Amino acid sequence: MSDAVLSQFKQEEAKEEIKAERKIKVGIIGTGGISEGHITSYLQMPDVEIIAACDLIPTKAESVMHDYHGVKNCRCYLNHKEMIDNEPELDLVSICTYNTQHAGPAIYALEHGLHVILEKPFTVTIDEAVEVMRAEKKSGKVLSIGFQPRYDYSMQYVRDIVQSGMLGKIYYVQTGGGRRRGIPGGTFIEKETGGVGALGDIGCYSLDMVMNALGHPKPLTVSAYTSDFFGKDPKYNGEDASRFSVDDFGAAFIRLEGGIIIDFRISWAMHADTPGDTIILGTEGALRIPSCDCWNGTIEPGLKLYRDICGVQTETPLPYIPKGEPLLFYRKCRGVIERAIYGKEDAMIVPTSEIIYNQAIIDSIVKSAKLGREVEVVIPEV
Ligand SMILES: NC(=O)c1ccc[n+]([C@@H]2O[C@H](COP(=O)([O-])OP(=O)(O)OC[C@H]3O[C@@H](n4cnc5c(N)ncnc54)[C@H](O)[C@@H]3O)[C@@H](O)[C@H]2O)c1
């Protein structure tokens, strides 16, 4: 890709001019690790004010907002209900809570007329996701799921290649990622807070990359396996082993509408460096996306396109498209503000109507692994 093409992105962003006539009032629910990406993004927006924050851990919201970020006039609370009940001026909330606290705060915020950015994964179960979508539908508000890799130009490039039809009919996709050792700690490793392990933490990214490229075909059946050999073993997971109650590895064979197969695997820990590259096979060509540790789901350099050209088998390295400025977290928060507050229909959000399939697959992986057989993917009516 030429410099001229790449610089188009930069020019577009530089042109963006934010008028600070009206301050948009934002609240942060959960002030743990990932809230940092949301808070620093909002603090760069002249038309946004973080007026409130909350965290279940006493003084955590104060220490993050007042002491660390210096937002002294931010009012702090102990949970989402207290914050929303006491802050009638809020326009939007960023929900940065652990996975099992995604659905409740999202529903409560929507019922109180707020727009929502909900961190990934959507929820833990498909039933919770459907409840959130019902509340979203009833409220008429904007809800976007926090998959910032969607704003990565490389991910958009992958989608554009597949959607252009140059690979022909897609019939098989191998995807996944993960690392030899990299089990997180904190709230990620217990069922009560994380709900699911590697599946929900990083598996959802690999699934979103390929589902987005494929145009979100409906999942039909899943046959899956999960394990926890490393997470539960003090040899590999130290003191955290005793409280580890989620998956650290998952694999699944997923059938999608349109005769497409996804062969998926994800790992927080194993005795190999990678579970393999992502490969998208079509009748006219194939795409290889290099495997990555999958910490945040973005695509690394090394894309390759395979096609027969005039009878000759070719293998073309594709250029890496830099992620550009502003950072992906800024773009994901800004997209929602532009759509929800300024009504720009072309502003990018990550809609629940697309991520519901991601959630349905994860939910079905958990069910299939538990039952030890293939299951049908059932998505309740919203
Ligand atoms: N988009 C990304 O790149 C990315 C990266 C890491 C984590 N995440 C996601 O972000 C979420 C949070 O991750 P984290 O690393 O910040 O976790 P964390 O455990 O550090 O922080 C979560 C915080 O939420 C608080 N909390 C939970 N329920 C609450 C409620 N009802 N009201 C107020 N506070 C509440 C907890 O006390 C905790 O402090 C997870 O769902 C995770 O999957 C996204």
CATH number for the domain that contains residue 271: 3.30.360.10
136 lines ligand 1 (CB under 6 A): no
Q: Report the Cα–Cα distance between both ends of the chain, in Å, rounded.
A: 42
Q: Burial of 40 by CB count in 10 Å (0-12 exposed, 13-18 middle, 19+ buried)? A: middle
150 lines ligand 1 (CB under 6 A): no
Q: Give the distance (Å) from ligand 1 centre to CA of residue 226.
A: 23
Residue 324 has what pLDDT? 87
CA distance 93 to 104: 13
Question: Are 321 and 335 a contacting pair, CB within 8 Å?
Answer: no
119 lines ligand 1 (CB under 6 A): yes
- In the chain, alpha helices (H): 3-15, 35-43, 60-62, 80-86, 103-111, 126-139, 153-163, 198, 204-214, 234-237, 328-340, 352-371
In a domain, 292, yes or no: yes
User: In the numeric block, which tokens belong to residue 222?
Assistant: 């899943």
CA distance 39 to 254: 37
Residues 228 and 335 in one domain: no
What DSSP string runs through 1-31?
A: --HHHHHHHHHHHHH-----SSPEEEEEE--
34 lines ligand 1 (CB under 6 A): yes
Residues 333 and 366 in one domain: no
Residues 137 and 200 in one domain: no
In a domain, 346, yes or no: yes
Q: What is the DSSP letter of 147?
A: -
In a domain, 160, yes or no: yes
Q: Give the distance (Å) from ligand 1 centre to CA of residue 354.
A: 22
Q: Which amino acid is at 149?
A: P
Interval 223-247: pLDDT, tens:
999 999 999 999 999 999 999 999 9
Residue 5 has what pLDDT? 40
Q: Give the distance (Å) from ligand 1 centre to CA of residue 96.
A: 4
Angle formed by the axes of helices 204-214 and 352-371, to 10°? Answer: 130
201 lines ligand 1 (CB under 6 A): yes
Closest ligand 1 atom number to CA of residue 184: 15
Give which of 265, 191, 257 is closest to 224, Cα–Cα.
Answer: 265
Residues 177 and 90 in one domain: no
Residue 21 has what pLDDT? 73
Tell me which residues of the chain have a pLDDT lower than 70.
1-17, 19-20
186 lines ligand 1 (CB under 6 A): yes
Give which of 169, 195, 176 is closest to 256, Cα–Cα.
Answer: 169
187 lines ligand 1 (CB under 6 A): yes
Residue 105 phi/psi, 5-degree rounding, is: -60, -35
Closest ligand 1 atom number to CA of residue 80: 32
Give which of 90, 101, 89, 88 is closest to 132, Cα–Cα.
Answer: 101
Give which of 145, 80, 155 is closest to 111, Cα–Cα.
Answer: 80
| CATH number of the domain that residue 115 is part of | 3.40.50.720
Residue 11 has what pLDDT? 35
363 lines ligand 1 (CB under 6 A): no
This prediction has a pTM of 0.94
Other C-beta atoms lying within 10 Å of the C-beta of residue 267: 28
Which residue's alpha carbon is nearest to atom 7 within ligand 1? 34
Domain that holds residue 255: 153-319+357-376
Which whole-number Å values give the CA distances from 114 to 26, 38, 106, 110, 293, in the listed order? Answer: 10, 17, 9, 5, 35
Residues 230 and 119 in one domain: no
In a domain, 381, yes or no: no
Residue with tokens 């926890």: 228
Residues 218 and 334 in one domain: no
Residues 116 and 182 in one domain: no
29 lines ligand 1 (CB under 6 A): yes
Give which of 325, 340, 297 is closest to 140, Cα–Cα.
Answer: 340
Residue with tokens 């299951």: 375
Residues 247 and 197 in one domain: yes
- In 263-307, alpha helices (H): none
Residues 128 and 207 in one domain: no
Other C-beta atoms lying within 10 Å of the C-beta of residue 314: 11
Residues 269 and 130 in one domain: no
Among 108, 119, 205, 294, residue to substitute to test ligand 1 (most atoms within 8 Å of Cβ): 119
291 lines ligand 1 (CB under 6 A): no
CA distance 324 to 234: 41
Interval 168-195: pLDDT, tens:
999 999 999 999 999 999 999 999 999 9
Q: Give the distance (Å) from ligand 1 centre to CA of residue 111.
A: 21
Residues 248 and 372 in one domain: yes
How many domains are there within the chain?
2
Other C-beta atoms lying within 10 Å of the C-beta of residue 192: 11
In a domain, 382, yes or no: no
Which residue's alpha carbon is nearest to atom 8 within ligand 1? 34
In a domain, 283, yes or no: yes
In a domain, 136, yes or no: yes
Closest ligand 1 atom number to CA of residue 35: 16
148 lines ligand 1 (CB under 6 A): yes
Residues 190 and 245 in one domain: yes
